[in-house]
Structure 1
Amino acid sequence: MKAFEVNFDGLVGPTHNYAGLSYGNVASERHQNLVAKPKTAALQGLTKMRTLTEMGLVQGLLPPHERPHMPTLRALGFSGTDEQVLARVAKDAPVVLSAVSSASAMWTANAATVSSSADTPDRKVHFTPANLNAKFHRSIEHPGTGRALRAIFSDEKHFAVHDAVPSCPHFGDEGAANHTRLCADYNSPAVELYVYGQVALNSEAPRPMKYPARQTLESCEAIARLHGLTDKQVVFAQQNPAVIDKGVFHNDVIAVGNRNVLFYHEEAFLNTADVLREIDEKLVGADLIPVCITNDQLSVEEAVTSYLFNSQLISLGDDDMALIVPKECEDSATVRNLLDQLVHDASNPINKVVVMDLKQSMRNGGGPACLRLRVTLNEEEIKAVSNCIITPPLFEDLTQWVEKHYRDELAQKDLADPALLNESRTALDELTRILGVGSIYDFQL
C-alpha cells in the first residue's frame, strides 16, 4: 500500500499577535509589540497549504487553539465574569494575558512527535503531544493538542495518541521540531533522528550558556519507548550548544530531512561524523545523502535570519525534491546564490526551490517547517482523517471563514477586549462544524 508524507499545517488563530514571548527566538524578540495582521497571517498559511496540494502533495491541517485561554487565567486565581477576568489580568498581569492569548499553536512542528505505522510494533501511527515545558505560553497547549489529535486521528485501528511526557525541565519536549524520519521511501521502515539540546541529569555534559536548551535527551528516550521503537530504529544526536546560543532554538532552524536526504549546517550537531555514520548504518534500503552547508558558504547568524533550514524539504516524485523556503531567503543575496548552486548540484536530488510569503509567521520566528507537522500515512490512514485533508472545497470554506471572523489588525492592548474573546469563540465553534471534529474546546465542553 502506498504511503505519503502528509503535512498537517497549523491554521493561524484569530488572536495572532506579537508579544515577544519566546526568549531565545531572535525573530520573536525583535518584533515584540508590532501590530499583527491575523487575517493576513491565516490567509498566508492557507495559501501555503493550497500551493502544496497543487504541487501534488497530500496536505492536512490542525485547528487553532482557544485563545485567550480563560481556564488558565481562572486556575491562576482570576475570578468573576469573563469580562472582569480580562480587565483584571490586563491591569495586574499583562504579560500573563499575552501568554494565554498567544496563537503559537499555529507552529504545529511543536505539536507532537509522530512515528509511522511502518515503524511501530503494533502497526499504528503513534503521536505524543509535546509538553513545551520551556515556555509558559506554550506549556498550556498540550491538553488542547491532545484533544485535537484524538478527534482527528480517532480511529483506534490506525492511530494511538499518548499523553505528553511529564511536564518538567527533566523531560522538556518540543515535538517534531527536533525529530526527523529518514527512510528509503515513505512506506519503508525508517530511522528516527531525535535531536536534544542537553542531558538533564548530567551537569557536566555540554549545554548552551546564553539561551536555554529546550529539548532533553531524557524526553527523546521516553517518546521512543512510548512508540515502541528499538535501538536499531533511533539515533539520538545532541544539538551544538554554540548554535543554540546564536538563536537556533530548535533543530529545524539548522537542519531538515526528507527520505534519505539530510540538509544541514556544518555546526548543527555535536560529533557530526558519528551522527551521520550511525544514521547511515541504521538506514534500510538506501544510503544517507548528507547535504552540508559550511560556515564559508553561510554563517549560522544568516541561517537564523533567513530561516534557510526552516524550510520544508519535500518529494516531487521518486527522484526529485524541492525546498519550500520563506521569502526572506530570496531577500538575501548570499542565500539566493547558495540555493541556485544547490539546485544545480547533481550530487543531491534537491532541484527546485519554491518561495513562500509567510511574513506574519516569520516575524514571530516561525517559517515553513514550523508551520507543519509531518505525518507519514498510508492510503487507508488518509481515508480515516479525510475531514482535515485540504481539498479545493475545504480551502474555499476556510478562506471564507477567515474573511468572516478575523480582524485585519491586532495590537497588544486589544487582547483585553471581551469582544475578541467572543469573536474567537464564535469562529472556533463554526470551525469545528466545518471540520467535523466535534467539541474540542473548553468553552464547548
Structure 2
Amino acid sequence: MQAFEVNFDGLVGPTHNYAGLSVGNVASLKNADQASSPKQGALQGLAKMKALSDMGLKQAVLPPLERPDVYVLRQLGFTGSDAEVIKQAAEQAPAVYAATCSASSMWTANACTVSPSADAADGKVHFTAANLSNKFHRSIESPTTSRVLSAIFADEKYFAHHQPLPLGDHFGDEGAANHTRFCNAYNSAGVEFFVFGKYAFDNNKPAPVKYPARQTYEASQAIARLHQLNPNKTVYAQQHPDVIDAGVFHNDVISVGNQDCLFYHENAFLNTEQVLNDLQTAFGDQQLHFVKVPAEAVSVEDAVNSYLFNSQLVTLSPGHMAIIAPGECQENDNVRQYLEAVVAQDNPIKEVKIYDVKQSMRNGGGPACLRQRVVLNESEIAAANQSVFITDELYATLSAWVEKHYRDSLTEKDLADPQLLVESRTALDELTKILNLGSVYPFQL
C-alpha cells in the first residue's frame, strides 16, 4: 500500500506576538518587543501550505491554541471574570501573562513525535504529544494539542495516542524538532533518529553551559519504547553542546533529514563519524546520502541567522528532493552561495524553493518549525479527519477566516486588551466547525 509524508502545518494564532519568551532562541530574543502582524503571519503560513500542496505534496493544517490561557491564570491564583483575570495578571505579573498569550503552538514540529505504522510493532501510527517542559509558555500546550491530535486521528484501529512524558527537566521532550526518519520508501520500515541535548541522569557527560538542553536522552528513549520501535532501527545522537550554546536550541536548526538523505552542518553532532556509522548500519545495504555543510562555507552563526537547516527537505519525485527555505537564506551571501552550489553536487537535492515566513522567522521558527511530518498510508489517510487536508477550497476558506478575525498589528501592550480573548475565541469556535474538530478548546468543553 502506498504511503505519503503529510505535512501538518500549524496555523499562526490570533495572538502572534514578539514577547521574547524563548531563552536560547536567538531570533526570539533579538526581536522582542517589536510589533507583530498576526494576519500577515497566518497568511504567510497558509501561502506556504498552498504552495506545497500545489507541488503535489500532501498538506494539512493544525489549529492554533486558545490564548490568552485564562485557565492557567486561574490556576495561578487570579480570580474574577475573564476580563478581571486578564487585568490582574497583566498588571501584577506581566511576564507570566505574556507567556500565557504566546502563539508558539504554530511551530508544530514541537507538537508531538510521530512514528508511522511501518516502524511500530503493533502496526499503528503512534503519537506522543511533547511536554515542552523547558519553557513555561510551551509547557501549557499539551492538553489541547492532545485533544486536537485525537480529533484528527480518532480511529483506534489505526492510531495510538500516548500521554506526554512526565513534566520536569529529566524527561524534557521537544517533539519532532529533535526527531527524523530515514527510509527507502515511505511505506517501508525506516530508521528513527533521535537527537538529544544532554543525559539527564549523568552529569559527567558533556552538556551546554550557556543555554539549556531542551531534549534529554532519557526522553528520547521513552518515546521509542512507547512507539514500540525496533531497537536495531533506532539511533540516538547527542547534539553538540557548543552549537546549543550558539543558539541552536533544537536539532532542526542544524540538520534536516528525509528518506535516504541527511543534510547537516559539520558541527551538528557530538562524535559525528560514529553517528553517521550508526545511521548507515541501521539503514542497511543501501547507501545513505550524507550532505555535509562545511563550517568554512556556512558558519554556525550563518546557519542560525538564516535558518538554513530549518528548511523543509521534501521529495518531489523519486530521487529528486527540494529544500523549502525561508527568504532569509537569500539574504545571507554565504548561505545563498552554498545553496546555489549544493544542487549541482551528486546528491538527491536538486532544487531550492524560497518562501516568505518572516513573521514566524522573527520569533525563531522557519519552514520546518511550522510543520509536523506524519507518514500515513492510504488507509490511514482515509481514516483521518478529511476536513484538515488543504484543498483550493479550504485554502480560500481559511484565508477569508484570517482576514475576518485577525488583527493587522499586535504589540505586547495590546495583549492586555480583554477583547483580544473574545476575538480569539470567536475565531477558534468558527475554525473548529471549518475543520470539523468538535469541541477541543477549554472554552468549548
- Could you say which TM-score interval applies, normalised by the shorter chain? over 0.9
Is 2:56 the counterpart of 1:56? Answer: yes
Unaligned runs of 5+ in 1: none
Task: Within 5 Å, give how 1:213-362 maps onto structure 2.
Answer: 213-284=213-284, 286-345=286-345, 347-362=346-361
Which residue number in structure 1 is paired with residue 362 of structure 2? 363
- Mapped to 2, the partners of 1:155 and 1:287 lie a distance apart of 36
CA apart distance, 1:231: 1.2
Does the Cα contact within 8 Å between 1:190 and 1:284 map onto a contact in 2? no
CA apart distance, 1:230: 2.3
CA apart distance, 1:285: 6.0
Equivalent position SS for 1:127? strand
Which residue number in structure 2 is paired with residue 193 of structure 1? 193
CA apart distance, 1:233: 1.6
Does the Cα contact within 8 Å between 2:119 and 2:230 map onto a contact in 1? no
CA apart distance, 1:387: 1.4
Is 2:106 the counterpart of 1:106? Answer: yes
CA apart distance, 1:185: 1.1
- Mapped to 1, the partners of 2:93 and 2:184 lie a distance apart of 51
Deviation per residue, 1:358-415 (Å, 9 max, x gap): 0000000000000000000111111222111111111111011000000000011111
Which residue number in structure 2 is paired with residue 377 of structure 1? 376
- Mapped to 1, the partners of 2:182 and 2:277 lie a distance apart of 13
Amino acid aligned to 2:220:
C
Deviation per residue, 1:73-100 (Å, 9 max, x gap): 0000000001111111111001111100
Deviation per residue, 1:158-192 (Å, 9 max, x gap): 11111101011010000000000111111111100
Does the Cα contact within 8 Å between 2:120 and 2:230 map onto a contact in 1? no
Deviation per residue, 1:400-443 (Å, 9 max, x gap): 10000000000111111111000000000000000001000000
- Mapped to 2, the partners of 1:10 and 1:213 lie a distance apart of 24
Which residue number in structure 2 is paired with residue 174 of structure 1? 174
- Mapped to 2, the partners of 1:93 and 1:82 lie a distance apart of 16
Amino acid aligned to 1:8:
F
Amino acid aligned to 2:326:
P
Does the Cα contact within 8 Å between 2:111 and 2:145 map onto a contact in 1? yes
Amino acid aligned to 1:121:
A
- Mapped to 1, the partners of 2:124 and 2:389 lie a distance apart of 19
Task: Within 5 Å, give how 1:113-128 maps onto structure 2.
Answer: 113-128=113-128
- Mapped to 1, the partners of 2:78 and 2:171 lie a distance apart of 29
- Mapped to 2, the partners of 1:123 and 1:325 lie a distance apart of 33
Deviation per residue, 1:122-174 (Å, 9 max, x gap): 11100000000000000000111101000011111111111101011010000
RMSD (Å), alpha carbons: 0.7
CA apart distance, 1:332: 1.1
Amino acid aligned to 2:205:
A
Unaligned runs of 5+ in 2: none
Does the Cα contact within 8 Å between 1:183 and 1:286 map onto a contact in 2? no
Amino acid aligned to 1:348:
N
Does the Cα contact within 8 Å between 2:256 and 2:312 map onto a contact in 1? yes
- Mapped to 1, the partners of 2:154 and 2:387 lie a distance apart of 12
Which residue number in structure 2 is paired with residue 140 of structure 1? 140
- Mapped to 1, the partners of 2:382 and 2:48 lie a distance apart of 22
Deviation per residue, 1:47-98 (Å, 9 max, x gap): 0000000111000111100000111000000000011111111110011111
Amino acid aligned to 1:275:
V
Does the Cα contact within 8 Å between 1:183 and 1:284 map onto a contact in 2? no
Does the Cα contact within 8 Å between 2:131 and 2:167 map onto a contact in 1? yes
**Percent identity at matched positions?**
60
- Mapped to 1, the partners of 2:124 and 2:391 lie a distance apart of 25
Amino acid aligned to 1:40:
Q
CA apart distance, 1:286: 2.7
Amino acid aligned to 2:437:
V
Which residue number in structure 2 is paired with residue 93 of structure 1? 93
- Mapped to 2, the partners of 1:274 and 1:126 lie a distance apart of 28
Equivalent position SS for 2:201? coil
Distance 1:359 1:32, change over 3 A: same
- Mapped to 2, the partners of 1:182 and 1:387 lie a distance apart of 29
Equivalent position SS for 1:323? strand
